[in-house]
Structure 1
């Protein structure tokens, strides 16, 4: 994987890419909120050399810092499109975990003709009808909770709350430790992310997925209402839903082989 950068008016985005053929599908891995490119290390290791592969540190995350917190979900989708154009990627298959799945839906809204495939991992639909007014209200007010919660307790809750395996928890802890000693930044990253999500939902756009797609959710996902959202998403749209046994919110780290095989199956079926 080659590390590259993309300059925006608000900061520089770092990303990693390995291209085999611009004419083939590119797996575009988008990590969740406060996670970074390492979230997909198992998937990258499997797919590199078989497919074009891309992953980023989202704006303000990890290496993509410093960054001004003056952007929304559609800005992230536009910057992602700019990066894909910069790399000559014409057949993106977005694989988004949690917040990465929301970016994928925003990308689908902005560039429906460009997106060739979509995999949601422990994410949820952006359509307004799925979320309650109380949930939206809470999302806009998360930053103070993260800022004043004792860091050691936050680190423990953040790692044990998203994964059930030793590997998954260890990896999440390592990614959270990027912000060790700067809890204010961590709180800002998280709080801004949740506000972006709430505002995207409130826009009440279609966010329709028109390409081949798959929903993946850990059976033990306890992050928000992901399980409820995915059941409703599947029922409403008919997009296939795969439940991952012995997996939490980061199901691709708890059961990497299974999740990787599901991604591969979707892409192979598109060829």
Structure 2
């Protein structure tokens, strides 16, 4: 896929994006913490070849998007960036596909602005609105302080081995994690945690797809996503032989699941 060609100037940041024309339902891909748009290269290509308008972008402080000097990464700013990007491109009710932090942001978007999305595909992200046990709350609060103790030189490798299971996925993850400064990554991690807001009885108001790698051991995703699927009576699509960065470990299988979901929702609309 080509590099990002679009530029959106935001308060405290410059956001870069790519907008691939297509006559079918728009699909917006949002990557996870510490990664960048390239993790969705294969699914984006598959959806575009199927005729969809496809948008990928880099969150502020990631990949080709930048943070201004003195600016910090926050969930509020990232959320506003997503809203502004859709406004800027004039996208009407796209399908939102988000991985990890991107999945948390996409959930927050649908929760706050349900009329602006046609569907939601959450890839290896926890359930924002789901219940949290005492242990889960404790571990969420402990995550950022624990990562802060890891030397910057070791953090990319540690995160890569926790995020992928194939040699190729680990190598690509480590190279991408290494591009983001530790202080920014810690802010990003805190932002991810801040998006988790349990709300008993909440149900996603648009079509929902849940996808995760079979060997995802990040946070509580492996236990929360099955509970979420059961609560909303939707299928959980578990990709074999893949970890948290499922699009790097098993790109073709993940792309096929996402395309099937998007095509089915379009046909049912």
How far has the Cα of 1:161 moved from its partner?
Answer: 1.5
Q: Which residue in the other structure is 1:268 paired with?
A: 263
**Which one of the candidate residues 17, 20, 44 is aligned to 1:18?**
20
Counterpart Cα distance in 2 of 1:128 and 1:10: 32
Query: Is this contact kept in 2: 1:139–1:195, CA < 8 A?
Result: no
How far has the Cα of 1:152 moved from its partner?
Answer: 4.4
Counterpart Cα distance in 2 of 1:202 and 1:134: 16
How far has the Cα of 1:91 moved from its partner?
Answer: 2.9
How far has the Cα of 1:174 moved from its partner?
Answer: 2.0
Q: CA separation of 1:154/1:176 partners in 2, compared to 1, >3 Å: closer, same or farther?
A: same
Q: In the alignment, does 2:230 pair up with 1:227?
A: no
How far has the Cα of 1:265 moved from its partner?
Answer: 0.8
Q: In the alignment, does 2:231 pair up with 1:236?
A: yes
Counterpart Cα distance in 1 of 2:59 and 2:12: 13
Counterpart Cα distance in 1 of 2:46 and 2:40: 10
How far has the Cα of 1:148 moved from its partner?
Answer: 3.7
Q: Which residue in the other structure is 1:173 paired with?
A: 174
**Which one of the candidate residues 227, 244, 250 is aligned to 1:255?**
250
Query: Is this contact kept in 2: 1:136–1:198, CA < 8 A?
Result: no
Query: Is this contact kept in 2: 1:118–1:214, CA < 8 A?
Result: yes
Residue deviations 1:211-248 (CA, integer Å, cap 9, x gap): 11110111111111211011111111112211111111
Query: Is this contact kept in 1: 2:29–2:98, CA < 8 A?
Result: yes
Q: Which residue in the other structure is 1:146 paired with?
A: 147
Unaligned runs of 5+ in 2: none
Counterpart Cα distance in 2 of 1:191 and 1:132: 24
Equivalences for 1:101-140 in 2 at 5 Å?
101-127=103-129, 129=131, 131-140=132-141
Which deviates more, 196-205 or 217-226? 196-205
Counterpart Cα distance in 2 of 1:91 and 1:245: 31
Counterpart Cα distance in 2 of 1:100 and 1:110: 15
Q: CA separation of 1:227/1:144 partners in 2, compared to 1, >3 Å: closer, same or farther?
A: closer
Counterpart Cα distance in 1 of 2:197 and 2:33: 19
Query: Is this contact kept in 1: 2:9–2:15, CA < 8 A?
Result: yes
Q: Which residue in the other structure is 1:159 paired with?
A: 160
**Which one of the candidate residues 8, 11, 18 is aligned to 2:10?**
8
Counterpart Cα distance in 2 of 1:86 and 1:155: 33
How far has the Cα of 1:142 moved from its partner?
Answer: 4.0
Q: Which residue in the other structure is 1:182 paired with?
A: none
How far has the Cα of 1:79 moved from its partner?
Answer: 2.2
Which deviates more, 252-261 or 46-55? 46-55
Q: CA separation of 1:250/1:136 partners in 2, compared to 1, >3 Å: closer, same or farther?
A: same
How far has the Cα of 1:193 moved from its partner?
Answer: 2.6
Q: CA separation of 1:151/1:72 partners in 2, compared to 1, >3 Å: closer, same or farther?
A: closer
TM-score, normalised relative to structure 1: 0.87
Q: Secondary structure at the match of 2:241?
A: coil
Q: In the alignment, does 2:59 pair up with 1:64?
A: no
